[in-house]
Chains A and B, each alone.
Chain A
Amino acid sequence: MNEILRQVLIVLVVMGGALATAAILIWLERRLLGIWQDRLGPNRVGPLGLLQPLADVVKILTKEDWIPPFADRPVFVIAPTIVVLAALIAFAVIPVTPTIVVVDLDVGLLFVLAMFSLGVYSVVLGGWASRSKYALLGGLRAAAQLLSYEVFMGLSLMGVVMLAGSFNLGDIVAAQKGMWFCIPQFPGLVIFLIAGLAETHRLPLDIPEAETELVAGYHTEYSGMKFGLFFVGEYLGITFTSAFIVTLFFGGWSGPLLPPIVWFVGKCLFFICGFILVRGALPRPRYDQLMDIAWKLLLPLALLNIVITAGILLIMG
């Protein structure tokens, strides 16, 4: 009984932490973007503007939630929920601290990659079910971009798996006791960062939403809470990708002096701010340039990374 209660508590803590981070990100992203653009972000609602997510939630819930009459209703309604579900489920395998992990899967890494793939459905179905030009274009481009970048996302992580010898995320964190994998697997880290940006379709690789191009891409026809869910899903994706990078390349919860949870949250925050900085700094590449980089540059580099890592491991015995 105690064991079950403990498990339920861990589930609630991890899920609650993820959702709370997504909510705080609403405020954090706008504040940070403001700082880097020589202006203030939201600072009126509550001290330092911290109640801004609350105001945003109230706003989105009271907006008119209109479903286009020409849209495919069941798919239209379900599409935003898929990305939120995939991101939340993927949090189940992340080792937050040595004791807090919802489920210690032996194929944790593969599970995460599978959840990333499921997240693609949301964008594609959203664009398709809207039955409108710009949404369809956004959905098509999203499908192509997400699929292409997913190919070498998995491959870039194989180097980490080879070094750690297991797909279990807890084992990967433990294997980084001597040296974090960001140093021997630096090319893998860079490739995975770019792939992570693409998978969560964040600027600069946000052709699917392309706020200044395709009207609003796949979420053109969405309003009200469904639109809000797309955004919560995107923020959850950012949080999850940061947590994943920290787990795989930066030692997860390890660090001197401070308790593991502090190190984990701190490192995740660092990468989340990095995501936001990249959004504020980089221009968007053209769609064909995006696909070029994926297939002609990053995929060969990921394969090269695997070959060289394997070679070095073989030589060193």
Chain B
Amino acid sequence: MLSLLKSIWIVLRHTFRRKVTIRYPEEPIPLPPRFRGRIILSRDPDGQERCVACYLCAAACPVDCIALQATEDEHGRRYPAFFRINFSRCILCGFCEEACPTDAIQLTPDFAYVEYERPNFVYEKEDLLISGCGKYPDYNFYRVAGMAIGGKDKGAARNETPPQDVHSLLP
């Protein structure tokens, strides 16, 4: 009997404790820094889009929600002609972000994207491409990669030595 009364007293004491409920739209929910939310495509620090349409994200995606088609511009730089993510399928696992070699595709701490109709959940490149660099502000793939495209010759990348003329090595 006494233990019952003690239980009642303990519960009554909780009247004046702080409530743990987060009053959501008025109070923001504290998110961890690596929260996996809505997907975006980012740009270089120079302003060109990072995505080189290598299909690695589409291959890594466990639910096959990414569709894209590669094409080249006049300088020889690859870019996606279309890039489509079906957000009604996307499970926000982050595999695409891990697979991307250029830090183009990124997951942002935005979970409040809602639609009334299911077809509106298919986001095209113009819905995904942002004007900034996303989470990685100083990575420019083509400054560290070895291939030659318009504006950069072989050997002009960071940490890259100029190409050897192999004929000059002959005995």
Q: A residues within 8 Å of B by Cβ?
A: 34-40, 277-278, 280-283
Contacts and interface: CB of A to CB of B under 8 A. Distances in A.
B19 A39 contact: yes
Nearest to A280: B11
Interface string B1-22: 0001001101110110111110
A277 B19 contact: no
A280 B4 CA distance: 12
A277 B13 CA distance: 11
Contact of B20 (A35, A39, A281): A39
Contacts of B12: 36, 277, 281
7 contacts: A35-B14, A36-B15, A39-B19, A40-B21, A277-B12, A278-B8, A280-B11
A281 B10 CA distance: 8
Q: Is the interface of B mostly helix, strand, loop or mixed?
A: helix
Contact of A282 (B8, B15, B18, B21): B8
> Is the interface on chain B under 10, 10 to 19, 20 to 34, or 35 or more residues?
10 to 19
Given A36-B14, A37-B14, A281 B19 contact: no
A110 B11 CA distance: 36
Contact of B7 (A35, A39, A281): A281
4 tightest A-B contacts by CB?
A281-B11, A40-B21, A281-B8, A39-B21
B8 A38 contact: no
A175 B23 CA distance: 51
B36 to A, nearest CB: 27
Contacts of B14: 35-38
B11 A38 contact: no
Contacts of A277: 8, 11-12
A109 B14 CA distance: 37
A251 to B, nearest CB: 23
A256 B60 CA distance: 77
Contacts of B17: 38
B8 A35 contact: no
Contacts of A281: 7-8, 10-12
Given A36-B14, A277-B8, A283-B7, 7 more contacts: A35-B14, A36-B11, A38-B17, A38-B19, A39-B19, A40-B19, A281-B8
Nearest to B1: A190
A280 B9 CA distance: 11
Contacts of A278: 8
Interface in B9-65: 10-12, 14-15, 17-21, 23
Interface-central residue, A39, A281, A282, A283, by most chain B CB under 10 Å: A281
Given A40-B21, A281-B10, A35 B4 contact: no
A38 B20 contact: yes
A39 B17 CA distance: 9
B24 to A, nearest CB: 10
A35 B21 contact: no
Contacts of A36: 11-12, 14-15
A278 B7 CA distance: 9
B10 A35 contact: no
A25 to B, nearest CB: 18
Contacts of A34: 19
B145 to A, nearest CB: 53
B34 to A, nearest CB: 28
A280 B17 CA distance: 16
B50 to A, nearest CB: 42
A176 B14 CA distance: 35
A281 B23 CA distance: 25
A206 to B, nearest CB: 16
Contacts of A37: 14
Contacts of B8: 277-278, 281-282
Nearest to A274: B8
Contacts of A39: 19-21
A37 B17 CA distance: 9
Nearest to B8: A281
Nearest to B17: A38
A98 B11 CA distance: 37
Nearest to B13: A36
A292 to B, nearest CB: 14
A277 B14 CA distance: 11
